[in-house]
Amino acid sequence: MKVLIVASALTLVGSCATPSHTDKLQNIKDSIVFTDANIINKYANTITSAELNTHVYKFSSDDFQGRKTGELGHHKASNYLKEYYIKEEVASPLGTDNYYQNVPESYFTDGIKSSSNVIAYIKGSEYPDEVLIISAHSDHEGYTEDAIYNGADDNGSGTAALLEMAQAFKKAELEGFGPKRSIVFLHLTGEEVDLTGSRYYTEHPVFPLHNTIANLNIDMIGRIDDSHEDNPNYIYVIGSDRLSTELHYISESANENFTKLELDYRLNSDSDPNQYYSRSDHYNFAQNGIPVIFYFSGTHDDYHEPTDTAEKINYPLLQKRTKLIFTTAWYIANNEKRIEVDQDS
Ligand SMILES: [Zn+2]
């Protein structure tokens, strides 16, 4: 109904002028309505600081030896993810209890051994072939003789967010509010070695890429960087407007309705010297024309140091940021139409 009203409004002005860019943006903004906000809130609130804390502590513990791609510690970490999905009864798209997409040794250089992406999903009830991928890399830097690189922020924080969102979407499904589109929870290996797990996935997609409607990628969302010490209620949002204007405004609307964080876009600038848009796994999806958002809370003194540990994570903020991603994902998975790609950079 909303679409029809918009279309006729356009017709009225269309006889003497095409709708201005401003009108088009307003139409996109107006079309984004969270009609089931109470239901979304109910499940968003099952994402708790305490459970995120438990996952980050476990995932960044010495047991997993810094989770270096191809090594025992990373295999153990992958098994932790698999066991979690089995326990939560979130299925694998690869067949019963086989949550691993093996990335062969030939994909890696420098003697790195084979490793796996871990994939779980909830099948959509109305458009099961259309797929939203939420991703976070599971690997990190390993250990030396002197120290273990625990990687609590990088990327225990993103991993914990994925686990909590999967649980929340599963609970919603069991109570009659399953997603209309399929949602994939993708834990990528080899991010720290040239984004290899995501490159492998996009070259061997489990779901066809032309039906992969968006990728929300999370890499380090648990800390506060130097420029936000006085205003920590923020997250960097990168890439949201590069391929889909609609995705950008869905993200803004989700934030306005549910989380009210400062969405900081400074790292999304084409001219930003850090070029984060091309620096984590979402980039392999974007290069295939799939709209992406990269969620990030910035670097810090412990970045890629053995001191990136679990007690330094801000868990209430991690919870709030996870809720932003969850509510954005909810909209994308449940809206009447799949999001539109209208940009080409
Ligand atoms: Zn990372």
Residue 10 has a pLDDT of 41
Rounded to whole angstroms, how far apart are CA atoms 248 and 241? 5
| 79 and 119 belong to one structural domain | yes
CA 143 to chain centre: 27
Closest CA to 281 of 216, 193, 154, 195: 195
Give the distance (Å) from ligand 1 centre to CA of residue 192: 7
Whether residue 27 has a cis bond before it, omega within 30° of 0: no
| 144 and 1 belong to one structural domain | no
Distances from the Cα of 132 to the Cαs of 15, 100, 122, 212, 217, in angstroms? 38, 19, 10, 6, 11
Residue 103 DSSP SS3:
strand
Give the distance (Å) from ligand 1 centre to CA of residue 168: 24
Closest CA to 165 of 134, 189, 137: 134
Give the distance (Å) from ligand 1 centre to CA of residue 299: 10
| 166 and 275 belong to one structural domain | yes
Give the distance (Å) from ligand 1 centre to CA of residue 220: 6
Q: Using the structure block, give the residue that is written with the tokens 């990327």.
A: 155
| 109 and 21 belong to one structural domain | no
Angle at 310 between CA 316 and CA 265, to 5 degrees: 55
In the numeric block, which tokens belong to residue 50?
């305490």
Rounded to whole angstroms, how far apart are CA atoms 136 and 154? 10
Give the distance (Å) from ligand 1 centre to CA of residue 142: 13
- Cβ pair 88, 102 in contact under 8 A: no
Give the distance (Å) from ligand 1 centre to CA of residue 98: 25
| 23 and 169 belong to one structural domain | no
Give the distance (Å) from ligand 1 centre to CA of residue 211: 26
| 25 and 133 belong to one structural domain | no
In the numeric block, which tokens belong to residue 326?
């969850």
Rounded to whole angstroms, how far apart are CA atoms 170 and 163? 11
| 165 and 241 belong to one structural domain | yes
Give the distance (Å) from ligand 1 centre to CA of residue 316: 20
Closest CA to 270 of 343, 188, 163: 343
In a domain, 109, yes or no: yes
CATH of the domain at 301: 3.40.630.10
DSSP 255: I
| 286 and 314 belong to one structural domain | yes
Q: Residue 2: give the domain boundaries.
A: 1-31
| 87 and 24 belong to one structural domain | no
The number of domains in the chain is 2
In a domain, 340, yes or no: no
Helices 49-59 and 315-334 cross at an angle (nearest 10°) of: 100
- Cβ pair 332, 267 in contact under 8 A: no
Rounded to whole angstroms, how far apart are CA atoms 60 and 96? 28
Residue 94 DSSP SS3:
coil
In a domain, 215, yes or no: yes
In a domain, 192, yes or no: yes
Helix, strand, coil abundance in the chain, percent, nearest 5 = 45, 15, 40
Q: Using the structure block, give the residue that is written with the tokens 């053995």.
A: 306
Q: What are 99-105's contacts with CB under 8 Å, separation 24+?
A: 101/200, 101/201, 101/204, 101/206, 103/189, 103/190, 103/196, 103/197, 103/200, 105/70
| 83 and 1 belong to one structural domain | no
Rounded to whole angstroms, how far apart are CA atoms 218 and 291? 14
Give the distance (Å) from ligand 1 centre to CA of residue 67: 12
Other CB atoms within 10 Å distance of the CB of residue 176:
8
Give the distance (Å) from ligand 1 centre to CA of residue 221: 10
In the numeric block, which tokens belong to residue 175?
């109570």
| 203 and 76 belong to one structural domain | yes
Side-chain-side CA neighbours of 232 within 13 Å: the count stands at 13
In a domain, 122, yes or no: yes
In a domain, 342, yes or no: no
Give the distance (Å) from ligand 1 centre to CA of residue 154: 5
| 23 and 43 belong to one structural domain | no
Q: Give strand pairing partners of 189.
A: none
pLDDT tens, N- to C-terminus, the chain (345 residues): 223 333 344 444 444 557 788 999 999 999 999 999 999 999 999 999 999 999 999 999 999 999 999 999 999 999 999 999 999 999 999 988 899 999 999 999 999 999 999 999 999 999 999 999 999 999 999 999 999 999 999 999 999 999 999 999 999 999 999 999 999 999 999 999 999 999 999 999 999 999 999 999 999 999 999 999 999 999 999 999 999 999 999 999 999 999 999 999 999 998 899 999 999 999 999 999 999 999 999 999 999 999 999 999 999 999 999 999 999 999 999 999 999 999 986
Rounded to whole angstroms, how far apart are CA atoms 135 and 221? 13
* Amino acid occupying residue 289: G
Give the distance (Å) from ligand 1 centre to CA of residue 256: 27
Residue 242 DSSP SS3:
coil
